[in-house]
């Protein structure tokens, strides 16, 4: 996940309390020092780290843990609550008609963010449009157009017009039928007067409901200064933190924004248009500490299933009756691919992200993704009859499939064995009554991170 180093460091620190039923002051002090080291390594401001560690130290020593709660779970809950407080609330962003202007320095990721946000709004049932006004950076129009095509959202730009204000005016008129207008603006290497003037003139035309500042996570705690300067110059209603997947300083950027009069709206977590998520402090910190995020997970599952159904004419409920075929398995794999990188998905599952994932080899996720791609290639080399009745596939067919797919026979057998295991699991599900299913889901929701499960519907992992 994003901030992997910070997350694994915090989880490793808390795991040192495993098996303890009581906490001494020395235990607390050792844990606090480790947490300080982890946060400072993530470029969190020293004063913030000291204030946070004081709160954790005081609460861990003075608060009595509930009956039956282990020392680790008690401290985990305190760390979770204090870190949620540290990063602050999410920017208010209702799902309704609105105009959003994006501002930021050159290289912060505004153009990519515009397409990502448009994609996000489209998945919420709104019709977005991106208006590209950057006439300063070479290639800005082409990049924006390509990203919006990948996001399958409406786009307006004019590479023959060098007046960004006129482009904004015309673009808003041409895309008047859209529910959400996202106006991408030019950046500079610094907050210069010419940039401020351009933003103010675009604002006067766009009359935005919200101004969002786009910040590169790599600036760390420098996010505080940049957010304050942009806010003083043009007014900022929220911040988008980009490139969180590529820096260890993201924690500093997240914490710094809350020290301004602003808040965080979105997080950019990769290069694809779907690598964006609405920031919610409780779910984000829960994932960071290895406790999962069932709300974010359920949203991804629903979206992936809907997209797969639309493309493949496939109903997941069919899995609960009849034979589980290789076609069903391929549809499940397609849905998984649409949920995003496997390591991000695992982080959202209580008990699977965090600690368990930390024990895997560094390349385990890449190997798993590669194996899934191998399986897909192999299935493409099978006949419809083989996909429908994989148990009937014999040695001669395995040899033919291996030659046709360019994969070895062992990988073909591995796919068939994987299908056999999944088929047996589906039969177990088919035999479950509604009460059995509810008990299983309750266990999943209650077992994350050793500290209580992640709840759906916006609840935190401790039911708050």
Residue 108 is assigned to a ligand binding site: yes
Q: Are 292 and 95 in contact (CB under 8 A)?
A: no
Class of residue 427 by CB neighbours under 10 A (exposed 0-12, middle 13-18, buried 19+): exposed
Residue 238 is assigned to a ligand binding site: no
Residue 287 is assigned to a ligand binding site: no
Residue 185 is assigned to a ligand binding site: yes
The gap from C-alpha 167 to its chain's centroid, in whole angstroms, comes to 32
Residue 319 is assigned to a ligand binding site: no
Residue 187 is assigned to a ligand binding site: yes
Residue 224 is assigned to a ligand binding site: no
Gap between the Cα atoms of 448 and 59, Å rounded: 22
Q: Which of 90, 89, 137, 85 has the alpha carbon at shortest distance from 111?
A: 137
Gap between the Cα atoms of 38 and 49, Å rounded: 10
Residue 245 is assigned to a ligand binding site: yes
Gap between the Cα atoms of 4 and 6, Å rounded: 6
Residue 454 is assigned to a ligand binding site: no
Residue 115 is assigned to a ligand binding site: no
Gap between the Cα atoms of 256 and 258, Å rounded: 5
Q: Are 71 and 27 in contact (CB under 8 A)?
A: yes
CA end-to-end span of the chain = 24
Residue 226: Cβ within 10 Å count: 23
Gap between the Cα atoms of 286 and 297, Å rounded: 12
Looking at the DSSP assignment, which residues form a beta bridge with residue 278?
266
Residue 163 is assigned to a ligand binding site: no
Long-range contacts of residues 381-389, Cβ cutoff 8 Å, at least 24 apart: 381/405, 382/326, 386/326, 387/325, 387/326, 387/327, 387/330, 388/325, 388/326, 388/327, 389/325
Residue 178 is assigned to a ligand binding site: no
Q: Per DSSP, which regions of 234-341 are E strands?
A: 238-242, 264-268, 276-278
Residue 184 is assigned to a ligand binding site: yes
Residue 13 is assigned to a ligand binding site: no
Helix (H, G, I), strand (E, B) or coil at 240: strand
Residue 244 is assigned to a ligand binding site: yes
Binding-site positions read 104-111, 184-188, 242-245
Annotated binding site for GTP: 104-111, 184-188, 242-245
């Amino acid at each position: 996940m994003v901030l992997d180093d910070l997350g694994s460091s915090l989880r490793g620190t808390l795991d040192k309390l495993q098996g303890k039923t009581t906490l001494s002051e020395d235990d607390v002090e050792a844990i606090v020092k480790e947490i300080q080291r982890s946060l400072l390594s993530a470029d969190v401001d020293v004063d913030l780290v000291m204030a946070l560690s004081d709160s954790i130290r005081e609460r861990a020593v003075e608060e009595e843990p509930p009956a039956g709660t282990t020392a680790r779970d008690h401290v985990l809950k305190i760390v979770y609550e204090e870190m949620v407080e540290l990063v602050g609330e999410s920017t208010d962003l209702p799902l309704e008609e609105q105009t959003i202007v994006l501002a930021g320095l050159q290289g912060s990721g505004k153009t990519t963010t515009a397409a990502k946000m448009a994609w996000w709004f489209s998945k919420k049932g709104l019709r977005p449009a991106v208006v590209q006004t950057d006439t300063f950076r070479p290639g800005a129009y082409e990049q924006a157009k390509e990203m919006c095509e990948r996001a399958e959202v409406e786009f307006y730009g004019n590479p023959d017009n060098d007046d960004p204000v006129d482009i904004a005016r015309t673009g808003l008129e041409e895309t008047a039928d859209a529910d959400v207008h996202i106006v991408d603006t030019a950046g500079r290497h610094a907050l210069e007067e010419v940039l401020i003037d351009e933003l103010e003139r675009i604002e006067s035309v766009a009359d935005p409901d919200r101004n969002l500042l786009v910040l590169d996570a790599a600036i760390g705690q420098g996010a505080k200064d940049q957010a304050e300067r942009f806010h003083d110059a043009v007014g900022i209603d929220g911040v988008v933190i980009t490139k969180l997947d590529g820096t260890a300083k993201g924690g500093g950027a997240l914490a710094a924004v809350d020290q301004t009069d602003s808040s965080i709206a979105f997080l950019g977590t990769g290069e694809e248009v779907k690598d964006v998520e609405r920031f919610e402090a409780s779910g984000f910190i829960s994932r960071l500490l290895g406790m999962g995020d069932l709300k974010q997970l359920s949203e991804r599952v629903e979206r992936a299933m809907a997209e797969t159904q639309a493309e493949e004419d496939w109903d997941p409920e069919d899995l609960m009756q009849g034979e589980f075929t290789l076609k069903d398995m391929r549809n499940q794999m397609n849905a998984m691919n649409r949920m995003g990188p496997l390591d991000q998905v695992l982080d959202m599952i209580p008990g699977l992200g965090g600690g368990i994932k930390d024990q895997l080899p560094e390349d385990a996720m890449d190997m798993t993704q590669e194996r899934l791609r191998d399986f897909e290639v192999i299935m493409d080399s099978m006949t419809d009859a083989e996909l429908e009745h994989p148990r009937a596939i014999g040695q001669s067919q395995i040899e033919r499939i291996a030659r046709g797919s360019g994969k070895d026979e062992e990988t073909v057998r591995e796919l068939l064995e994987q299908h056999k295991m999944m088929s047996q699991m589906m039969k177990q599900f088919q035999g479950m009554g509604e009460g059995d299913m509810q008990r299983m889901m309750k266990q999943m929701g209650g077992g994350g991170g050793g500290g209580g499960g992640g709840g759906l519907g916006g609840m935190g992992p401790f039911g708050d």
